[in-house]
Chain A
Amino acid sequence: MKKIIFPLRKEKDIEKLKIGDEVFISGTILTARDLAHKKLVEIIKKREKLPVNLKGALLYYTGPSPKPEGKIIGSIGPTTSKRMDKLTIPLLKFGLKATMGKGERSNQIVNLFKKYKVVYFITYGGCGAYLSQFVKDIKILSFEELGPEAIYQLFVENFPAIVGIDIYGNDFFKRKV
């Protein structure tokens, strides 16, 4: 089991990760799903300033359920990453270092992640209740009007995931079983 902290400080930290490695993620990560991605890409197209700092960042594809009274957070599992494939490409130039969701991604993404040295983490689909235990704090960063689709900042401790795409162009879903 490997431990990794975000935002990433040294490139070296992701160089040691290989597909199939089980990892514990700690630190500060950002959430974004379909609509937030669309908005970020529109901002980039207009050459305006991004509302979030993507340098060294991990983007987690999720839209949490509402926080029940007396709890830190509701259910917060991954959504299908593939829907974000095309929308991820314009973000790569801004220093994004990792993404996390569920399921396979396109070959184009595998190749681009090799080029830009970005890692893709798979976490456990449908397990939002279990995964909520590793989220210690949540706050809205941007696009509040989107409700569950807003960009949230999460503080996580030992959040479990598997390396799905490493920076060497390997894809967990294409490995030999």
Chain B
Amino acid sequence: MKSIYSEEIIEKIAEKIVEINYKLPDEVEKKIEEAYHREREKYSKKYLKVILENIKVAKENKIPICQDTGLPIIFVEIGLNVKIRFGKYKNFDEVINRGVEYGSRRGYLRNSVVSPIDRINTKTNTPAVIHYFLSEGDKFKITIVSKGFGSENVSKIRMLNPSEGKEGIEEFIIETVKKAGSLPCPPLFIGVGIGGSFEKSAILSKYALTKIGENTEYREWENRIIEKINDLKIGPGGFGGDITVLDLKIEIFPTHIAGLPVSVNICCWAHRMGSFEI
């Protein structure tokens, strides 16, 4: 049995959410640098240069990379042998949300969370969207994605016919990126969730975004899709260049004999994420 104090979780979340908004993961920055060297179209190359300069300014001046500091998405992996010692806040969602709130205030992140219909700002950047996964032993891992909404807005889910198969999946992904055009701040990171149910595929697609830069099972297929997307010549900023996608990750889960759910979660080049374990 491992004991973790809720105060420690609050503090670690607060630190991490600030850190990821000031500095992109190394693998994300590396992909952007590679894109800058490969890009040939004039305006697109200039944009990639400005992006690299922006990353530098944010890091050095300690201000957010983008003014849209995102909707906080939190993945919690918690082993059944972990015991949470609660302090001031008595439930786990509350602990996470206080971490997000403190970090957002301390790091001057924008309060971007509102009630959906009346559009009243909660002024705390909470509630975060939280996904829990039970894990074995005493594992305790939190992954945070600060998800920009310019790209979230053009993400899509579709229930394909089982017979549409691999080809249908590729067509749907490409159609989604094409339709998104310049709107989501390309070059993009793309998470694809295949299988499960309606909601399972969507969660998988978001989870896939946390696997950027990793060499996972479907690398070959992912690379093929990346090539096809780059052939669209949307390019950085939608300016018509060579690099439309920086990386694409696929997550797969078994599904029903009658269905083939596919979710395509689009993320801008400023893919802000990070994780910690206790």
* Interface, chain A (partner B; CB < 8 A): 20, 35, 62-68, 71, 74-77, 79-80, 82, 102-104, 122, 124-133, 146-148, 160, 162, 172-173, 175, 177
Contact = CB atoms under 8 A, between A and B. Distances in A.
Given A65-B63, A68-B63, A147-B111, A79 B68 contact: yes
Given A104-B182, A128-B67, 8 more contacts: A77-B68, A102-B182, A103-B150, A126-B270, A127-B51, A127-B53, A128-B64, A148-B110
29 contacts: A64-B67, A65-B67, A66-B109, A67-B108, A68-B63, A74-B64, A74-B67, A75-B67, A77-B67, A77-B68, A79-B150, A102-B150, A103-B182, A103-B183, A103-B185, A124-B50, A125-B150, A125-B185, A126-B51, A126-B54, A126-B270, A128-B65, A130-B58, A133-B57, A148-B111, A162-B43, A173-B182, A175-B240, A177-B41
A77 B66 contact: yes
B51 A124 contact: yes
A79 B41 CA distance: 23
Nearest to B49: A124
A62 B268 CA distance: 17
Specify the main secondary structure of chain A where it touches its partner. loop
Contacts of A133: 57
Interface string B234-248: 010111110000000
Interface in B178-195: 181-185
B123 interface: yes
Interface string B256-268: 0000000000001
Nearest to B105: A66
A89 B4 CA distance: 56
B67 A62 contact: yes
A17 to B, nearest CB: 16
Interface in B221-235: 233, 235
Contact of B238 (A65, A104, A132, A148): A104
Contact of B185 (A63, A66, A126): A126
B174 to A, nearest CB: 18
A63 B110 contact: yes
A131 B63 CA distance: 12
